[in-house]
Structure 1
Amino acid sequence: MGHRHQHDHASLSPWRISPPFLLSAGFLVLIIAGTLLLKLPIAAKSPLPWSDALFAATSAVTVTGLVVTPTGLTFSVLGEVVILVLMQVGGLGLMTFAVLAFLSLGGRINGRPSLVANRAGNETHPQDVLRTAKAVVKLALTLEGIALVPLALVWVPEHGWVQGLWWALFHSVSAFNNAGFTLSPDSLMAYAGNPVINTVIPALYISGGVGFIVISGLLGYRPGRRLDINVKVVLAGTLVLSLAGTVMIYLLESENPATLARLPDLVDRLWASWLQATTPRTAGFNSLDIAALTQETSLVLILLMFVGAGANGTGSGIKVATLFVLLAATWTYIRRRRVPTLFSHVIDTTTLLKALSVTVMAVIGIFMGTLALSISEDADLLTVAFEATSALGTVGLSRGLTPELSGWGQAIIMTMMFVGRVCPLMVAHMVGSAFDASQKDELQIG
């Protein structure tokens, strides 16, 4: 009886916080603080409406990248610094929460000691948060620092030392956190054939997208040791989706005079196809005019935005592992087998429930968002569905509707960005918490 009383008392301790509550509350506080800072007269080049400041802060914290006004033309250096900080804190906060959820449910990272101890009630102690956040921040700053050098070699000759280094830093942070914010009004269209931009930027957002668990698993890998199932699925899925997307975009856009056909040679077209195929997962940069893409290509991008990135990364969407779990389960049903497997790994009921929960909620969210935008905005269905998927997947690609949004439309998009950022991990955490999570190599969904 005494032990039970002590446990209940510990559970009510103010120093133990529910991870879903921590994530949601933290993002809301960041959005409010960011809005107040961006509304300061010295943060913008001209007076900024409260709605625009709120939209920019929400987009930055949720690392989406949708903007109602071009970032570089709207904000002063101070405003750009605020956006950079919001992107970094928002992206790394999400990654920290993802790692905490993974470890608190019994997971382990190959090649690393456990960063967090399992606790009753799936609660998180501040020491666990700090320890995990330190490891995540160290990884992020290392990768962003490495990328700073080649990006500076591109932008310093164009803009001078101060502005060139600032551009390199801003885009490095934006890319790793899958935010998609740029200081150029046309995103990366001016660099469609630049090999440095088209390798460094994707390397950053793919690294941030696959997440801390996958990167740590790769760094800790030794010959003869089995790769973790999460590492295998995310890497294989990322490779397949990236290559398939690149081929499809090239084939669908090669004759489009407004996109690929405007580029001078085959190499430039391949670079542009590569970046445009990888950025929907969920970085939001573009080197092609999104509004000028064919309907077929737009549908391909909607699918890629819906899938998103890795479960423990800075991206959103239903996640790569979710897609492959559902495909494996479907293939098992077609073959009339009883137990679905992926890379010879049995997919348990908990993982299937997570995958189904996240996917169904995403479909409902996109449908509701598309319906709401169809009512509030004067735009065709493809454009509305594209914008809704981009917002819920926190991607940041736009067919031109976001800058023209009504007040209600802005409210709908902001709500979808917030929901798309916090809900997949919250659902995965809650479903996983309801089951025995003692299996150490469980596939991570959401």
Structure 2
Amino acid sequence: MMGRRKSEILKSFTLTLVAILVMFIILFPVYYIFTVSISPGSTLATTEFHLIPRNVSLDSYREVLFGFSGNKLSEDFTGTIEGSASIQDGKLYLTEGTIRGKVKYGPFTGMTFEIPVKNLVFDVSGNSNAQGGLKGEVRGLFVLTRMNPDGTIGFGLLRNVILTEGSLDGTAVSGPMEKYVVARNSGTVHFTYLGKFVNSKFFGYLKNSLILATLTVILTLIFVVPAAYAFSRMKFFGREHVLYFYLMFTQVSGGLGIAGLIALYGMVVKLGLYDKLPVLSFIYAAGSVPFNTWLLKGYIDSISPDFDEAALVDGAGYLQIIRHVLLPMALPGIATVAIFAFIGGWTEFILASLLLTQDNQPLSVWIYLLMGGIGRGIDWSYFAAAALLFALPVFVMFMLAQNYIKSGLTVGGLKE
């Protein structure tokens, strides 16, 4: 007896260790990305690894949520250029000079910068040769990926710079620039109080994600609940085969891949529905209808039809049965469908990047675009913090649904 008990204890202890090991393997990537998010200046491109971070900082979360001193900024700018230059054969050669610019948010200035430049070449109008001091106006895109504590630019770019107008010792000049201006540990940046707050893009993309996911859940439930009830309770021609065919068709059509995306894009543009969040939510909901209908139908099948018959005897219609009988008893199944619909609307980014412009794109596309900086100065702490904040609503949805399902809602039965 004693030996049997020891064997059971040893077996239980072994299974517990195995379960802990499996959970550690599953959750380790999440823990690692969390350590990256609280480690200042961390990078994934290193052989060093610390299970417990040496220096803990929440600056990355603050920067993602509430703005920061210039990191990861990409905004249009206008400004001036001054320096020593010469014109030869339609080319303007800037030997040495300075570009001063500012970024505006509406009518307000959010940031000013000054970048020393040299050896730049512009294509300019006219072929006259001249030499002297250059003064002009420029515009373009200012991209700042890293800023040093002293206010200098750690790494930044002036992209698509255009010399809109200017003069070189009385000679009028204008024209586009042939290459980017790179600023590395040079130049200065100054943010206004407004600029320090509004340069964070998180809440704008968060709003778009919430709209997409919420509308997707609502539309999915509107389509799925009546359909699942019909397939579970009603008898009609082809009932046993329609849902199987529907599921199979969606899986086969999904294999069309790029061709399907091109067709969908063409239809959306032709109908004038491009860049509209509700339209994308409708597409998400429509794509999830077969699987979620099948899922909810299986749950409704487990509910005794005696409840429906009792309600029909009392004079209830089908809509009343769904609202007052089915919905309260099928809440766990409906909650599961809502979770899948929310996750689908929250995490999808291929259609979102294809059918939405930048202003309407969700968090999933924004985080994907952050990866565009790999190999060019990406801040992994910032990316890790943004990724965890992106995953947080899905985690909260799971926790809320778990508590709701476990709160005692069960499918009962009629007493005979």
Q: TM-score, normalised by structure 2?
A: 0.25
1 or 2, which has the higher strand percentage? 2
Over alpha carbons, which structure has the higher Rg? 2
1 or 2, which has the higher helix percentage? 1
